[in-house]
């Protein structure tokens, strides 16, 4: 069994999503968001990226759910708070992550090839 952190044989949408999952997890840790729900999101991002890289259905589901929760948390602050606190880039990258994971090419590939 080949365990890997990145899989160059995945479609481009999933490759970028794996990298964004890892990058988001690192930035959450750097900015000290390692308590409560954010700790679960960090674990979800890393586990999701690892699972996707190893073509596991659970990894895709964990990554997608974690990304959606992150977007919902940001949106719960309200758009004025997002803009005023400089979180607009966070929202854009997290929304892009959800879009990459929910893209038809990503969904089709995981449906057919993931175990």
Residue boundaries of the structural domains of the chain: 12-113
Query: Which tens digits make up the pLDDT trace of 31-89?
Result: 877 788 889 999 999 999 999 999 999 999 999 999 999 999 989 988 888 888 878 88
pTM for this predicted structure: 0.90
Neighbours of 45 (CB within 10 A): 27
> Residue 54: what pLDDT?
93
Q: In the chain, helix, strand, coil percent, each to 5?
A: 75, 0, 25
Find the mean pLDDT for residues 87-108: 92
> Residue 34: what pLDDT?
74
């Amino acid at each position: 069994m080949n365990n890997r952190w990145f899989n160059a044989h995945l479609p481009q949408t999933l490759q970028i999503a794996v990298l964004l999952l890892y990058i988001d997890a690192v930035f959450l840790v750097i900015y000290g968001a390692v308590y409560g729900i954010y700790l679960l999101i960090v674990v979800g991002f890393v586990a999701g990226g690892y699972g996707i890289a190893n073509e596991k259905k659970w990894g895709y589901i964990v990554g997608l759910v974690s990304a959606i929760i992150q977007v919902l948390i940001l949106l719960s602050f309200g758009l004025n708070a997002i803009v005023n606190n400089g979180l607009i880039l966070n929202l854009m990258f997290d929304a892009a992550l959800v879009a990459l994971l929910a893209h038809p090419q990503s969904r089709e590939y995981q449906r057919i090839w993931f175990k």
